[in-house]
């Protein structure tokens, strides 16, 4: 890839841009892998992301003893866990605090493993689409690469359109929301400070942030669902977003039936 530098001369751009990438990068659909080459024979071996050796070879500090990671294997000692469940178990069972100590490497590991899970779903969808085209009589060779992600794939255009359509339908049927609430993440929460080490900030523990924020959000939603007493709740819509530093926040719309008191004169 041709490496080029970008110079931002606008003073207001300092510290306000999180990342810059070219649109052609998004056209790359090949899954990531690790390549091992022998110095004598120059023979190259590609380690797929489905291999149990991908994680210990790529993240040696997390697996110093060569412990096998997640992968497709027929071994009996391999835990029967899904890909996401495997990563979650590694983070939750962090007894030696490797993931909470290595800071930025942990963030890179989380992003990499999330992308691995996404690539598996996209690869499965691409294979199923190719088989569907091959079994279609009027199949066109150009349509093999022109498949659309279904609404079941979170983050796809169909998924976003369906979520927006459902929200607009609720507003049309029951009227505009009564309350608009915003819940922000606070890095000074005691649940966060208890896990921080010297020199660390809340941004260094993204998986702790996610767990704490989800627990607090569930409490807030429970309060909103029960604080109006006998008033009938029509709908509740929430949208979770992330700031540049990785801190989440939630926007909540709630519609309740307004009870008008009758004044007798």
pLDDT digits (tens, 9 = 90+) for 104-137: 888 888 888 888 888 888 878 888 877 777 777 5
Residue 263 has pLDDT above 50, yes or no: no
Please, which pLDDT band fits residue 169 given cuts at 50, 70 and 90? very high
Alpha-carbon gap, residue 252 to 177, rounded angstroms: 10
Number of Cβ atoms within 10 Å of the Cβ of 186: 14
Please, which pLDDT band fits residue 265 given cuts at 50, 70 and 90? very low
The pair of structure tokens assigned to 190 is: 């005691």
Alpha-carbon gap, residue 147 to 120, rounded angstroms: 16
pLDDT digits (tens, 9 = 90+) for 19-36: 666 655 555 556 666 777
- Quote the pLDDT of residue 18: 61
Extended strands (E) in the chain: 33-37, 44-48, 179-184, 233-242, 248-256
212 versus 19: which is more confidently predicted? Answer: 212
Residue 183 has pLDDT above 90, yes or no: yes
Alpha-carbon gap, residue 96 to 58, rounded angstroms: 20
Extended strands (E) in 82-203: 179-184
- Quote the pLDDT of residue 78: 57
Kindly report the CA angle at 141 between 140 and 142, in degrees rounded to 5? 90
Alpha-carbon gap, residue 100 to 195, rounded angstroms: 8
Instruction: Give the pTM.
Output: 0.70
The CA–CA distances, whole Å, from 259 to 85, 110, 227, 255 equal 46, 48, 15, 13
Residue 175 has pLDDT above 50, yes or no: yes
- Quote the pLDDT of residue 214: 93
Number of Cβ atoms within 10 Å of the Cβ of 127: 10
Alpha-carbon gap, residue 169 to 171, rounded angstroms: 5
């Amino acid at each position: 890839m041709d490496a080029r530098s970008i110079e931002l001369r606008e003073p207001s751009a300092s510290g306000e841009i999180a990342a810059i990438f070219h649109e052609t990068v998004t056209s790359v659909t090949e899954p990531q892998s690790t390549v091992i080459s022998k110095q004598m024979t120059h023979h190259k071996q590609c380690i797929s992301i489905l291999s149990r050796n991908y994680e210990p070879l790529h993240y040696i500090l997390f697996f110093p003893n060569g412990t096998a990671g997640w992968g497709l294997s027929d071994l009996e000692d391999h835990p029967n866990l899904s890909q996401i469940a495997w990563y979650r178990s590694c983070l939750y069972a962090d007894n030696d605090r490797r993931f909470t100590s290595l800071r930025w490497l942990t963030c890179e590991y989380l992003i990499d493993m999330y992308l691995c899970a996404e690539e598996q779903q996209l690869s499965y969808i691409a294979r199923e689409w190719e088989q569907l085209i091959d079994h279609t009589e009027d199949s066109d060779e150009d349509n093999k690469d022109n498949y659309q992600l279904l609404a079941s794939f979170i983050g796809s255009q169909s998924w976003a359109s369906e979520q927006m359509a459902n929200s607009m339908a609720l507003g049309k049927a029951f009227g505009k929301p009564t309350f608009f609430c915003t819940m922000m993440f606070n890095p000074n929460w005691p649940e966060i400070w208890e896990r921080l080490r010297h020199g660390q900030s809340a941004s260094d523990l993204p998986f702790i942030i996610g767990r704490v924020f989800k627990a607090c959000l569930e409490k807030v939603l429970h309060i909103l669902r029960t604080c109006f007493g006998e008033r009938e709740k029509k709908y509740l819509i929430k949208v979770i977003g992330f700031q540049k530093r990785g801190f989440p926040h939630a926007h909540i719309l709630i519609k309740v039936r307004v009870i008008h008191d009758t004044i007798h004169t």
